[in-house]
Every structure is written in C-alpha cells, then in structure tokens.
Amino acid sequence: MAKQSRGTFQKRAKERARQQKRHDKAQRRLAAKERRAAGAPRMEDDEPEVVGMHPEPHAVPTQWDDASPTT
C-alpha cells in the first residue's frame, strides 16, 4: 500500500513541474511581445525579410562575366 502513495507524490511533483514550465513559457512569450513592441516601428508596406534592403543595380559576379545569354 505504501507504494501507491509514493506514486501520488511523484505524480504531483510532475504536475507541478508542468505548471511551472507553462508559467515560465508564458512569461517568456510576454517578454518577447513587449520587446517586439518596443522595437522600431514598421511601415504598413514593409515586409520583414526586405526591411533595410534597397533596390539598386549590383555588380555582376566575375563567374558570370563570360557566360553567354540563354535566349
């Protein structure tokens, strides 16, 4: 009979660990949300992957200099 009660304590400890993990994760999410909100404001048409990139002509890599066009 004593063996059954030990399982109960282990079960309770496991559940407490799960609850703590959920709490910690919620705190991390909240902190990340606040950090993102405090960041630089974005324009409506800004896409995250192209922010800071400017369309301009770039030099052709040397490996493509002697490549003939494929038309």
Task: Please compute, for residue 67, the number of CA atoms within 13 A of its CA located in the half-sphere on the CB side.
Answer: 9
State the Cα–Cα distance between residues 27 and 3, nearest whole angstrom: 37
Closest CA to 23 of 35, 31, 38, 8: 31
State the Cα–Cα distance between residues 34 and 28, nearest whole angstrom: 10
Residue type, 30: L
Q: What is the pLDDT along the chain (71 residues), one digit of tens a residue?
A: 555 567 789 999 999 999 999 999 999 999 999 998 887 666 666 566 666 666 777 777 777 777 666 65
pLDDT for the residue 31:
96
